[in-house]
C-alpha cells in the first residue's frame, strides 16, 4: 500500500507492508504551493515513479492536498468524529493512472464562542497516534508545528480541538521583526527556554513579554545566541497556558520540537508521550484506507 502526506511545503510518501509497517519512504519539498498550473497528477506520478507501477491498490492521501488550494477540495467533517466519519468523507481525485487516488477530508469544529477552527492532515495523525498506543481510546493530543493543534479524544472520537499559530509567529518574529536583529546563530539553551516559560506565566501579556527578547539582550541579561530559545519558551508557554491538555497526553511530531513541548508540560506536572510523526501518519492513513476499501468493495 502507498500512503501520501501532502502538505503546504512538503510531499511525503510511504510504502507499507501488509501489517501497515513502513517498508520505505520518500520526501521532497514539493508542497502544494510549489505545484504550478494545478499539475498535481503529473507531480505525484513523477515523485512516486516505480512505486506507482508496482502498487496493486489505491493510493490514499491526507493534508493540504484536499484543501481549496489543492487537487480537489474535500469538505471538512464536523466534530465530534471518529475514523468511520473520516473514511466516509474521503473523495476520489481525478487521475488517468491505474491507481485510484483517495483524498481524506479535514475536520472542523467551533470553540465555546462559536468561532470555527479547522485541520487537515493532523486528524489522521491523531487517530494514528491512538492506534500506535493500542491501550488508549481517550487522550489529549498535542501536535506542535507551524500551526500547533491541541485535540481532545474521547472513546476514539475527536471531540474538538484548538489551533495556535505558534510556529508561524515564532518564524515571523525571528526573521522579520526587530527582535531578530539582535539574534545570532542559535545554540541550544534550555535554561533560556525555561526562562521564557517562566516569563509566560507572569503578568502583563504576550505582546509585552516578547519585547523582553530585545530588552534583556540590550541590558546584558541574556546572550544573543540564547534569544531564540527564550522567545520559543515565551510563545510555547503562552500556548500551553490556554491549553485543554490533560493526562494522558500524546505529543505527535518531530522529536526535537516535541521534546520542548514535553519539557514545558513537565513543568506543569504532565508527563507526555512522544509519537513520531511518520508512525502516526502511516498508522492513521492505513486505518482509513482499510475502512474505505471495505466500504467500496
Mean predicted lDDT score pLDDT of the chain: 95
CB 170 within 8 A of CB 235: yes
Answer whether residue 155 is part of any domain.
Answer: yes
Measured CA to CA, the distance from residue 84 to residue 137 in angstroms comes to 15
Residue whose grid cell is 493510493: 59
Structure confidence at residue 97 (pLDDT): 75
Res 244: pLDDT: 83
What pLDDT does 163 receive?
97
Measured from the Cβ of residue 234, the count of other Cβ atoms closer than 10 Å reads 24
Structural domain including 57 reads 2-164+243-295
C-alpha to C-alpha distance for 235 and 216, rounded to whole angstroms: 16
Q: Tell me the β-bridge partners of 15.
A: 2, 24
Query: What is the spatial distance between Cα 16 and Cα 20, in angstroms, rounded to a whole number?
Result: 5
Angle of helix 122-132 versus helix 277-295 axis, rounded to 10: 100
* Residue of higher predicted confidence among 185 and 49: 49
> What is the model's pLDDT at position 297?
40
**pLDDT value of position 225:** 94
Q: What is the mean pLDDT of residues 204-223?
A: 97
How many domains does one find in the chain? 1
CATH number of the domain that residue 138 is part of = 3.30.420.310
Q: Is the pLDDT of residue 253 over 50?
A: yes
Tell whether 24 is covered by a domain: yes
Contact 150, 243 (CB under 8 A): yes
Mean pLDDT of 210-223: 97
Cell 473514511, located at residue:
87
Q: Is residue 194 part of a domain?
A: no
Can you read off the three cell numbers belonging to residue 193? Answer: 527556554
User: Would you say the pTM of this structure is higher than 0.75?
Assistant: yes
Please give the average per-residue pLDDT across 237-249, as a whole number.
94
Say yes or no to pLDDT of 86 above 90.
Answer: yes
Average pLDDT of the segment spanning 66-76: 97
Give me the mean pLDDT over the 290-294 stretch.
84
Which grid coordinates belong to 61? 492521501
> In the prediction, which pLDDT does 54 show?
76
Nearest to 60 by CA among 295, 293, 219, 294: 293
With 60 as the cut, is the pLDDT of residue 52 above it? yes
The answer to whether position 178 is within a domain reads: no
The span from the CA of 188 to the CA of 266, in Å, is 19
Q: What is the pLDDT of residues 182-207, one digit of tens each?
A: 998 878 999 999 999 999 999 999 99
Q: With 80 as the cut, is the pLDDT of residue 55 above it?
A: no
Residue 211 inside a domain? The answer is no
In a domain, 200, yes or no: no
Amino acid at each position: 500500500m502507498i500512503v501520501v502526506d501532502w502538505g503546504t511545503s512538503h510531499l511525503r510518501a510511504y510504502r507499507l507492508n501488509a501489517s501497515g509497517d513502513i517498508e520505505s519512504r520518500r520526501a521532497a519539498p514539493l508542497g502544494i504551493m510549489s505545484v504550478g498550473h494545478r499539475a498535481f497528477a503529473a507531480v505525484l506520478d513523477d515523485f512516486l515513479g516505480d512505486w506507482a507501477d508496482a502498487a496493486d491498490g489505491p493510493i490514499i492521501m491526507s493534508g493540504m492536498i484536499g484543501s481549496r488550494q489543492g487537487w480537489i477540495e474535500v469538505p471538512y467533517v464536523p466534530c465530534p468524529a471518529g475514523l468511520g466519519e473520516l473514511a466516509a468523507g474521503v473523495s476520489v481525485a481525478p487521475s488517468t493512472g491505474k491507481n485510484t487516488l483517495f483524498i481524506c477530508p479535514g475536520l472542523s469544529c467551533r470553540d465555546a464562542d462559536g468561532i470555527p477552527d479547522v485541520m487537515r492532515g493532523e486528524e489522521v495523525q491523531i487517530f494514528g497516534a491512538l492506534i500506535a498506543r493500542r491501550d488508549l481510546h481517550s487522550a489529549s493530543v498535542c501536535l506542535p508545528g507551524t500551526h500547533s493543534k491541541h485535540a481532545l479524544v474521547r472513546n476514539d472520537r475527536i471531540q474538538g480541538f484548538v489551533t495556535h499559530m505558534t510556529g508561524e509567529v515564532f518564524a515571523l518574529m525571528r526573521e522579520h521583526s526587530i527582535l531578530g536583529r539582535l539574534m545570532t546563530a542559535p545554540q541550544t539553551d534550555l535554561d533560556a527556554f525555561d526562562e521564557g516559560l517562566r516569563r509566560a506565566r507572569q503578568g502583563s501579556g504576550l505582546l509585552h513579554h516578547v519585547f523582553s527578547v530585545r530588552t534583556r539582550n540590550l541590558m546584558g541579561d541574556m546572550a544573543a545566541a540564547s534569544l531564540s530559545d527564550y522567545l520559543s519558551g515565551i510563545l510555547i508557554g503562552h500556548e500551553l497556558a490556554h491549553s485543554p491538555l490533560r493526562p494522558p497526553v500524546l505529543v505527535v511530531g518531530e522529536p526535537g520540537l516535541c521534546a520542548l513541548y514535553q519539557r514545558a508540560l513537565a513543568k506543569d506536572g504532565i508527563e507526555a508521550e512522544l509519537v513520531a510523526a511518520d508512525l502516526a501518519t502511516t498508522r492513521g492513513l492505513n486505518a482509513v484506507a482499510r475502512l474505505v476499501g471495505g466500504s467500496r468493495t
